[in-house]
Structure 1
Amino acid sequence: MKTVSKLGIATAMLMAGSTGSVWAASLVQVSLWDKGASTEMPMGLAYAAPGLDLTKATMGINVLPAAVKAGKVTFKVKNGSKDTIHEMIVMFLADSKKSLPYIDAENRVDEDKAGDKGEVSELDPGKSGALTVDLKAGKYLLICNVPGHYGAGMWAEFTVDP
């Protein structure tokens, strides 16, 4: 009598029931960066701010690719800072002409009102994390919501195509 491994049975069932593409998530590389904790953070660089000039940003988020197909998306996030904690939050962007709701007293985005879709919480300098979420077609912002960071330009646009 032949023995069949549980892994072999599971693999056969997956292959018989669907194509591999249904199970695969789009992979997005995210790099969180800054010019160092001793560098003064300019303010007024929030998304859609009047007169926005990101050349003044001392921190930011790089995303590759900047667009994927709708469905499961895995964000692999690395905090490239040498001395600052950062995070990455996926926010749905209901209106691309408006900034996200902001709590001035706390110097951060109101995550509950903004439409938080998931996050890689506070990453120590040099550390990495990952997040997989199911995203519908639309515009999103990836932000760092550590107090002051979003207003200092730490955000990136992200598109999910149908």
Structure 2
Amino acid sequence: MNPDAKMGMGMPANMSMAMMKIELDKKAVPAGKVTFDVTNTSKATVHEMIVVPVADPKKTTLPYVSNENRVDEDAAGHLGEVSELDPGKTGSLTLDLKPGFYAVFCNIPDHFMNGMWATIKVQ
């Protein structure tokens, strides 16, 4: 068992968001409590971070609402989020994740389609 999960501390997964990319400091984490520490490193753009489960990390096809230029979070299986972060701000989210793959993405209009997503494996 993950000792961090046992203590309720969680496994950290640090994440930074620049103009239109998401960088994770880990590609895989143990199942259990996972804490996403998020930093918006952009100088001028607000970002957010949403977590949803995905079946195949190489084909992150999520339901998209074209007229809103956003992912349909509810249909995608929204598990949690760090809401809008101003440039330079930080936030965190702790989730109890089961083994599988998860997408993390920014759902500010147009950001997902411009490449602001990444996947993480929970094992």
Q: Which letter maps to 1:158?
A: I
Equivalent residues in 2 for 1:46-85, closer than 5 Å: 59-85=20-46
Equivalent residues in 2 for 1:1-162, closer than 5 Å: 21=4, 22-23=6-7, 24-34=9-19, 59-96=20-57, 97-161=59-123
Q: Deviation string for 1:43-85 (max 9, x for gaps)?
A: xxxxxxxxxxxxxxxx110001121010000010000011000
Q: Distance in 1 between matches of 2:88 and 2:120?
A: 23
Under a length normalisation based on structure 2, what TM-score does the superposition of the two structures give?
0.92
Count of residues in correspondence between the two structures: 119
Larger strand share, 1 or 2? 2
- 1:94 to partner: Cα distance: 3.0
Identity among equivalent pairs (%): 53
Q: Distance in 2 between matches of 1:132 and 1:63?
A: 15
Gap runs ≥5 in structure 1: 1-18, 35-58
Q: Over the residues paired in the alignment, what is the CA RMSD in angstroms?
A: 1.4
Q: Which letter maps to 1:150?
A: F
- 1:143 to partner: Cα distance: 0.2
Q: Is the 8 A contact 2:48 2:84 kept in 1?
A: yes
Larger helix share, 1 or 2? 1
The structure 1 segments of at least 4 consecutive aligned residues displaced by more than 6 Å after TM superposition are: none
